[in-house]
Amino acid sequence: NKIVNERDIPKGFESMTLDQKASFLQGMYTANGCVVKGHRVSYKTTSPSLALHLIDILGEYFDIDSNITINKPKLVEFNNGKYICAESYDVCINKIEDIVKFAENINFYYSYKKEELEQLIISKTPFVRSIENNGIRKLYDFTEPLVHWGIVEGRIAHNCAEEPLPAGGS
């Protein structure tokens, strides 16, 4: 019988497929994870080894960068009395690119948490704040099949790498 602060990822995790690992983590985050509105995705545990292992797993299998915030023990007042809350650890996913990877690969099971995650992504996504007129410029697009460059208005220009892509392609 392990006590709560000694919990860790089960040994069988390593032999799971990537989809099974993602599903397992989705269950963990749905149970003990949250979206800190406007800031990050967070997973709370009282187990320091679980927090460290989770950071390794997120990085190794899903290329998600995360860090730990340590919450010291403190006296907290609830409706039914005052209790000492044990030291806990938050595994935090802070950067927008990592939050998007989390949404694409792991996510939450519950709809309301998925919606909170969607709102977080929208709030953290960079957007155009202003557009300034920079004048009109001539633009030349050409292809030179042998040497892949040419002289346009006295300047050396290389072939453009434009290519037709399917809808939504980048």
Residue pLDDT, tens place only, 40-60: 999 999 999 999 999 999 999
**Are the CB atoms for 114 and 90 separated by under 8 Å?**
no
pLDDT of residue 30: 96
Q: Which residue has the higher pLDDT, 75 or 2?
A: 75
- Note the Cα 155 to chain centre separation in Å: 43
pLDDT of residue 151: 77
- Note the Cα 142 to chain centre separation in Å: 39
pLDDT tier at 4, thresholds 50, 70, 90: low
Q: Which residue has the higher pLDDT, 162 or 82?
A: 82
With tokens 């998925």, the residue in question is 114
Q: Which residue has the higher pLDDT, 160 or 157?
A: 157
pLDDT of residue 14: 93
**Are the CB atoms for 73 and 63 separated by under 8 Å?**
no
Mean predicted lDDT score pLDDT of the chain: 88
Q: Is the pLDDT of residue 2 over 60?
A: no
Q: Is the pLDDT of residue 5 over 80?
A: no
Long-range pairs, 157-163, Cβ under 8 A, ≥24: none
The span from the CA of 44 to the CA of 15, in Å, is: 25
pLDDT of residue 86: 86
**pTM of the model as a whole:** 0.71
